[in-house]
Amino acid sequence: MTNLLRPVLTACGLLLLWQGIVWGFDLPSYILPAPYRVALAFVDNAGLLLREATVTVIEMLLGLLFGCLLGAAAAICLLLSPTARRWLLPLLVASQAVPVFALAPLLVLWLGFGIASKVMMAVLVIFFPVAVALYDGLRRTETGWLDLARVMTADAPQHRLRILQHIRLMAALPAFASGLKIAAAVAPIGAVIGEWVGASAGLGFRMLQANARVQTDLMFAALILLAVCAVTLYVGVDAMTRRWLRWQADSHPSLLSPVKE
């Protein structure tokens, strides 16, 4: 009961504060629209906003999917091949020195105004945290388990992949889950930056349009919808990873689990 009430109370408090600022400083609605104006803008443009949100959500999900696949593949390559470690690892680290957002105009130039450049943008920001987290997890397998596996398989090379599958990858799941949660948190950033640089649809695109036309209330409505999408994505990924990791005893509550008194 209190667990449900608390976020509602917090939201009401924030709304009151917002309304209070609008009244107290007597702000014109093109600087800071009152909450009810934003709600009106949302209702008036519900169809439009939902269409734009669908585009942005698809960009985030595709970015998450391909970013994670690519990151996981890179981590496994790094683990299996010393050659990959020598050549790929420095490249990976150096690639993060280039501000990914600076690449956005290039991506739009190469991949067009459509969804591909946004997905690519999201992939670029997601790939690195996933690859690093999974690679760290894969490297830190408990050595006792690997010793046991080596004795059990008599160190035969044909069983190495199964050791990777049943022991190393499973043991790396908690680390992978951490990478995935960071990825879920940065996916909206990638998609929206991509939309800002050049797009014809999406919440980021709509915000920029509304801003240019001084439709600040619509901009706020799009912003709030974007926040809702981002939080839903994070909560979904968190719930999914917790399902995988039920075997892992938590010694501390997660960010999203209710705090017990």
Partner 1 sequence: MSADSTSFSPSASAPAFRLAGSGFAYGDRVVLAPFSLDLTAGETVAILGASGCGKSTLLRLIAGLLLGQPSSLAGQVAWMAQQDLLLPWLTLFDNVLLGARLRGEVPDIARTQALLARLGLADRANAMPASLSGGMRQRAALARTLMEDRPLVLMDEPFSALDAITRAAMQELASEVLSHRAVLLVTHDPAEACRLADRIFVLSGAPAVLQQVAVLPPAAPRDPLSPPVLPVLRNVQAALQKAVNA
Figure out which of the listed residues 104, 163, 192, 218 binds partner 1, where binding follows CB under 8 A.
Answer: 163
- Do residues 136 and 190 touch, judged by C-beta distance below 8 A? no
**Whose structure tokens read 């008599």?**
154
Does 166 contact partner 1 by CB under 8 A?
A: yes
Identity of the residue, 47 or 157, whose beta carbon is nearer to partner 1 in the bound complex: 157
The residues near 135 (Cβ < 8 Å, ≥ 6 apart) are: 74, 75, 78, 79
Does 242 contact partner 1 by CB under 8 A?
A: no
Does 243 contact partner 1 by CB under 8 A?
A: no
- Do residues 196 and 182 touch, judged by C-beta distance below 8 A? no
Identity of the residue, 14 or 148, whose beta carbon is nearer to partner 1 in the bound complex: 148
Does 240 contact partner 1 by CB under 8 A?
A: no
- State the minimum distance, in angstroms, from the CB of residue 177 to partner 1: 13
Figure out which of the listed residues 102, 144, 251, 255 binds partner 1, where binding follows CB under 8 A.
Answer: 144
Figure out which of the listed residues 62, 79, 119, 149 binds partner 1, where binding follows CB under 8 A.
Answer: 149
Tell me the C-alpha distance between 213 and 216, whole Å.
8
Identity of the residue, 61 or 146, whose beta carbon is nearer to partner 1 in the bound complex: 146
- Do residues 176 and 72 touch, judged by C-beta distance below 8 A? yes
DSSP string covering 114-156: SHHHHHHHHHHHHHHHHHHHHHHHHHT--HHHHHHHHHHTTT-
Does 154 contact partner 1 by CB under 8 A?
A: yes
| Contacts to partner 1 by CB under 8 A | 142, 144-145, 147-156, 159, 162-163, 166-167, 170-171, 173, 247-249
